[in-house]
Amino acid sequence: MHNTAYYQNQRLQLENVALDDIAAHFGTPCFVYSKNALEQSFLAYKNALGDRSHLICYAVKSNSNLAVLQTLANLGAGFDIVSLGELERVLLAGGDPNKIVFSGVAKNAAEMQRALEVGIHCFNVESESELELLNTTAAEQNKIAAVSLRVNPDVDAKTHPYISTGLKENKFGIDINLAPQIYQRAAAMDNIAVVGVDCHIGSQITEIKPFIDAMDRLLALVDQLEALGISLKHIDIGGGLGVPYQNESTPSVADYMSELLPKLAGRPQTLVMEPGRSITANAGVLLMKVEFIKNNGEKNFAIVDAAMNDMLRPALYEAWMDIQPTSLNSSATAGLYDVVGPVCETGDFLGKDRSLAISQGDNLCLFSAGAYGFVMSSNYNSRPRVAEVIVDNNLTYLVRARETIADLVRGEQLLPETDQG
């Protein structure tokens, strides 16, 4: 399972800092990330790829905190973005625009203009309509837009239906069977430079075979395009490698690469990858405090100060995420608890039927919270979004302040008073 946090003297630590100390200093709930874990997860890709020509574009959507992006940029990471906001975040964090790929099904002209202005690596185009708009937008700026078509290989990633993206029934990409004619059309456009092919078949994929099936179909397309006189510079296999949240058997990055790279032997194209969850998920935790212990005659509830608006995955995907006390409480009797939050929804739970020895006032740690945690949080029930902290060895840094009530109402205003007389 996860191994980022560990018990020492009955206290849970992240790197060399006790999580209870972080909770005391920064308050709860809060997300905490290990800088070393982020670095090691990224380097696992870099080391496994070795001297193969490659570009690792971290999927910003999984965790877009500026300090997280900065940590990865300092290691030479590229970035996979899906919005103007993500582009600007990468630039603020020191990311190299020439290592940015722009994905997403609904890029608008303003987003295209800004991406062209800063000189991104390429656009992952997902439809003919988008291709036409990009050609027009680039012409208006007297620029050439580098393009990779995102094709839909119709591969079943065997993951949750909400995060499966490579089937014909999904909204993403261009039917791989229609791709050759669209490539020919793109190659004939004045302000488009065809540079690659891209696919992304899903997220939290726990076996290698779907990736290999997708690569086989991409390579067949590459050869078909070559016969038409269209030579590609890169092949983008996307992201999606899963992580162990519970007891899943997930392949290592090294195992994945050992099966993928032989497929590319003798081919000149650069391999582009877009990992997200596999870099950030197990680098982070969510700290929360037990406000009340409640028994309704049928169940025990640990009511905590974190909620579905802070961590949506359990409510949205019925995702299992490990929950453990930050300090082992020898005075408490173990029991089965549903760990639930303050939000007024029955679906506001973080874990069900968990064996925990806890008391009111204890802190709990929700593991594997570094990906799709804060980025999916909201202000539902007018709850301020929580703080984010990074641990670097024995040092802690507040990398996002907890929101205030003033933050909650920023930009809002009351209607003018009218004379009711």
- State pLDDT tens for residues 212-238: 988 999 999 999 999 999 999 999 999
Q: Answer yes or no: is 201 within a domain.
A: yes
pLDDT averaged over every residue in the chain:
93
Choice among 57, 199, 344, 365 that is catalytic: 344
Position 157 scores a pLDDT of: 53
Whether 390 has a pLDDT exceeding 70, the answer reads yes
Q: Answer yes or no: is 262 within a domain.
A: yes
d(CA 176, CA 154): 8
pLDDT > 90: what percent of the chain? Answer: 83
Whether 156 has a pLDDT exceeding 90, the answer reads no
Which tokens go with 71?
Answer: 């940590």
Query: Across residues 40-65, what is the average pLDDT?
Result: 97
Total domains, the chain: 2
H helix intervals, 33-174: 35-49, 66-73, 84-92, 109-118, 128-140
Q: Answer yes or no: is 68 within a domain.
A: no
Helices (H) and strands (E) counted in the chain, each on its own, are 12, 21
Which of residues 224, 248, 273 is at a domain's end? 273
d(CA 232, CA 412): 49
Q: Are residues 116 and 183 in the same domain?
A: yes
Position 172 scores a pLDDT of: 63
List the strands of the sheet with 17-18, edge to edge.
5-8, 11-14, 17-18
Residue 42 three-state SS: helix
pLDDT > 70: what percent of the chain? Answer: 95
Position 71 scores a pLDDT of: 98
Q: Are residues 269 and 285 in the same domain?
A: no
- Structural contact between residues 14 and 285, judged by C-beta atoms closer than 8 angstroms: yes
Q: Answer yes or no: is 98 within a domain.
A: no
Position 167 scores a pLDDT of: 47
Position 206 scores a pLDDT of: 86
Q: Answer yes or no: is 47 within a domain.
A: no
Whether 164 has a pLDDT exceeding 50, the answer reads no
Whether 416 has a pLDDT exceeding 80, the answer reads yes
Q: Which amino acid is at 42?
A: F
d(CA 297, CA 303): 16
Whether 367 has a pLDDT exceeding 80, the answer reads yes
Query: Across residues 91-115, what is the average pLDDT?
Result: 97
Q: Characterize the bridge pairing of strands 78-81 and 100-102.
A: parallel
Position 419 scores a pLDDT of: 72
Q: Are residues 182 and 162 in the same domain?
A: yes
Q: Are residues 171 and 256 in the same domain?
A: yes
Which of residues 219, 248, 273 is at a domain's end? 273
User: Per mean pLDDT, which of 59-73, 205-219, 235-249 is the most reliable?
Assistant: 59-73
Whether 159 has a pLDDT exceeding 70, the answer reads no
Q: Answer yes or no: is 348 within a domain.
A: yes
Position 160 scores a pLDDT of: 39
Q: Are residues 348 and 248 in the same domain?
A: no
Bridge partner list, 415: none
Q: Are residues 140 and 178 in the same domain?
A: yes
Q: Are residues 213 and 333 in the same domain?
A: no
pLDDT band at 153 (very low <50, low <70, confident <90, very high): confident
Which tokens go with 248?
Answer: 């899943």
Could you confirm whether 344 is annotated as catalytic? Answer: yes
Q: Are residues 286 and 267 in the same domain?
A: no
Q: Worst-scoring range by mean pLDDT, 32-46, 174-188, 198-212, 375-389?
A: 198-212
Position 158 scores a pLDDT of: 54
Give me the CATH number covering residue 362: 2.40.37.10
Q: Answer yes or no: is 64 within a domain.
A: no
Position 200 scores a pLDDT of: 87
**pLDDT tens for residues 266-308?**
999 999 999 999 999 999 999 999 999 999 889 999 999 999 9
Q: Are residues 298 and 251 in the same domain?
A: no
Position 392 scores a pLDDT of: 98
Q: Answer yes or no: is 225 within a domain.
A: yes
Position 202 scores a pLDDT of: 81
Q: Are residues 258 and 316 in the same domain?
A: no
Which of residues 273, 302, 326 is at a domain's end? 273
Whether 322 has a pLDDT exceeding 90, the answer reads yes
Bridge partner list, 351: 339
Terminal alpha carbon distance of the chain? 68
Domain assignment of residue 240, given as a range: 104-273
Q: Are residues 246 and 312 in the same domain?
A: no
Give me the CATH number covering residue 188: 3.20.20.10
Q: Which amino acid is at 409?
A: V
Q: Are residues 241 and 122 in the same domain?
A: yes
Position 240 scores a pLDDT of: 82
- Structural contact between residues 28 and 287, judged by C-beta atoms closer than 8 angstroms: yes
What per-residue string of b and e applies to 9-27 under the rule 16 or more CB within 10 Å gives b? eeebbbbebbbbebbeebe
What per-residue string of b and e applies to 247-265 under the rule 16 or more CB within 10 Å gives b? eeebbebeebbeebeebbe
Cα within 13 Å of Cα(313), Cβ side: 24
